[in-house]
Structure 1
């Protein structure tokens, strides 16, 4: 289960969707709720919409919403015999199904709001009906057919009309065969998704003493590190790695102004800081004007050479620059240097030296 928040408020006061997906059959329920609903209200909706129709679930995987991590919710599920599992950020193995369903639902509601107008909660039952009767490649059939063992009778696809008489043994065998086939398909789909992720994954490891940059997540309405919105920096730092926590987390040495933030971060939030000490220019060596500007200008000509191309020969000179970031020597065309800095080449005659 997961919550979709920050939606436009409808005339009924709904501004969030509680999405609940079955891990085996992929059948989903989309429940319109208020973002300010208490955990007691969520428990009431859960009993009426889920437990009354499908029974008590064995386990629930959810994110770390304050209502789903409260003592009331934990005690409520424990009394019914349900195990609670909380997902972790940047770990799609636990909540990848719900995130993929959220993207699909948002696209469906966006199309309904644009094409039909009105409030999105009016079309939420139609979106749920359409989702549960759409073909899913991971299970090889629609979720409705997997859940109830028969095709759904819809206005555009009536299917078989009438009763089918099957013996109890045939029903058990048919259901068992279907469940085994779905589990095999889910294993194949998970392996395929894992191979896609492994191709783009690069394992990062840092040593104690290394310097890293810390990623700033652009949460809406939340100020992180005294920066707000899209104009804030993507990375801040560098900070020193002081310890490694487990296999995928590191503890950083943060300054005093970040003392209220926990100093342990996931490896995906870090970026290796590559520094070149030779490229650092001391501030006292830079000469600036009254407007705090400085100009890069050549100091001397070190060497000369010619570069032969297919149709012409270009004369190059090796120039030593002042206030140049990075390398202080570069090769420049001799004609451009004579045009821009004639006084630098006035007293130099490379032909006589040759």
Structure 2
């Protein structure tokens, strides 16, 4: 007949058949349908919000992103390189080109950020691992690694200012903690904690931006599987035994994963508990 979902299947069965707990059995049957899982896959509300560690001081932990595809300026720049200090929320908007690679971005970062604030301790970005690796290598190659002279003279006024700055930083950190806790509570509404074990089999949802070839048409499946869990990266990320033909990272967010139920049990399990 086709794959019409729970409602239409129940409506068709209602005209001809009856057994106890029929709705429950139909729901289980449709949930385990391999064809439906591939064609109707979607992002699940799986995984709890995991906030980043709160920085201790300004410009030690930053984030960077790009605004692409803007109208060209007279100098030919069509994008913006955005750098944000995660402690103070101070932001730099640096003009750049959409085609800039990790080397060019590292040069801009050194010119506008390192020159004023030094080298950060961590960088958060949605760019891939290769990009960040080349970025860091270029950045370190540009640094003068000679030891800087130390000034041993400490004035009382300078010490008082340093103490004031430390107190200010502690106050800001406490505010960030409270705000993060409020955001975490709000972000976790409607979400549920889901975990998998190494060796489990899961379905994978194909996001358009990550699997453009597999989602190039509306008629193509939105998911695939099952794939085996190889390792647990953290509470919200797992590494799968993904075939090399997909040519993407094998690490997936838990919101793209759904537990695989063996379809061989469809003819027995739902009806054993139903009584008839």
**TM-score band w.r.t. shorter chain:** 0.5 to 0.7
Describe how 1:71-86 pairs up with structure 2 within 5 A.
73-77=136-140, 80=143
Do the aligned partners of 1:215 and 1:234 also contact (CA within 8 Å) in 2?
no
Gaps in structure 1 of 5+ consecutive residues: 83-166, 280-325, 328-354
Structure 2 residue aligned with 1:29, among 81, 88, 92? 92
Q: Using the alignment, how far apart are the partners of 1:172 and 1:242 within structure 2?
A: 50
Is 1:228 matched up with 2:219? no
Do the aligned partners of 1:216 and 1:233 also contact (CA within 8 Å) in 2?
no
Q: Using the alignment, how far apart are the partners of 1:177 and 1:40 within structure 2?
A: 38
- 2:83 alignment partner, SS class: strand
Deviations 1:12-64 (A, max 9, x none): 32222111111222111011110112444333322332233x23124131333
Larger relative contact order, structure 1 or 2 (CA cutoff 8 Å, min sep 6): 2
Is 1:9 matched up with 2:71? yes
Q: CA deviation at 1:259?
A: 6.2
- 2:203 alignment partner, SS class: strand
Describe how 1:277-296 pairs up with structure 2 within 5 A.
277-278=266-267
Is 1:55 matched up with 2:45? no
Describe how 1:129-278 pairs up with structure 2 within 5 A.
168=158, 171-206=161-196, 211-219=201-209, 223-225=212-214, 227-228=215-216, 231=218, 235-241=222-228, 243-246=230-233, 248-252=237-241, 258=245, 260=247, 265-273=252-260, 277-278=266-267
Do the aligned partners of 1:6 and 1:16 also contact (CA within 8 Å) in 2?
yes
- 2:108 alignment partner, SS class: helix
Q: Using the alignment, how far apart are the partners of 1:22 and 1:223 within structure 2?
A: 33
- When structure 1 is superposed on structure 2, of 12-21 and 241-250 the one drifting more is 241-250
The match for 1:89 is: none
Do the aligned partners of 2:229 and 2:240 also contact (CA within 8 Å) in 1?
yes
Q: CA deviation at 1:211?
A: 4.9
Q: Tell me: CA distance 1:18–1:278, structure 2 relative to 1, closer, same or farther (3 Å).
A: same
Q: Tell me: CA distance 1:51–1:249, structure 2 relative to 1, closer, same or farther (3 Å).
A: closer
Do the aligned partners of 1:7 and 1:15 also contact (CA within 8 Å) in 2?
yes
TM-score of the superposed pair, with normalisation by structure 2: 0.54
Q: Using the alignment, how far apart are the partners of 1:259 and 1:174 within structure 2?
A: 54
- 2:73 alignment partner, SS class: coil
The match for 1:69 is: 133
Deviations 1:273-305 (A, max 9, x none): 4557249xxxxxxxxxxxxxxxxxxxxxxxxxx
Measured on the aligned residues, the alpha-carbon RMSD in Å equals 3.8
TM-score of the superposed pair, with normalisation by structure 1: 0.43
Q: Using the alignment, how far apart are the partners of 1:199 and 1:4 within structure 2?
A: 29
Q: Using the alignment, how far apart are the partners of 2:247 and 2:165 within structure 1?
A: 55
- 1:213 alignment partner, SS class: strand
Do the aligned partners of 2:69 and 2:98 also contact (CA within 8 Å) in 1?
no
Q: Using the alignment, how far apart are the partners of 2:248 and 2:158 within structure 1?
A: 60
